[in-house]
Amino acid sequence: MNTAGDANMLYLVFGTAVGIVLGINIAFLYSRFFGNKAKVESKLRAEIRELERRLRQKDEYIAKAIKSAKEER
């Protein structure tokens, strides 16, 4: 014996399930596209700091080499 409320309950359950699946998919896509930016940005900043440190160190080595060459002459 089917009543009018049974069909409405079926639509409610189906709509809730579809909403949950869509919500999970949207959350996954959001974290994939926008969540990784912070990780990538921090990794790039660390790499920039490392490159700047190596550049300063290289400049110091060049200055020492020039000073040493001047002293030998």
Task: Give pLDDT tens digits along the chain (73 positions).
Answer: 567 677 888 899 999 999 999 999 999 988 887 777 777 888 999 999 999 999 999 999 999 999 998 888 7
- Amino acid making up residue 7: A
- In SS3 terms, the chain reads as CCCHHHHHHHHHHHHHHHHHHHHHHHHHHHHHHHHHHHHHHHHHHHHHHHHHHHHHHHHHHHHHHHHHHHHHC
| Residue ranges of domains in the chain | 35-73
pTM recorded for the entire structure? 0.49
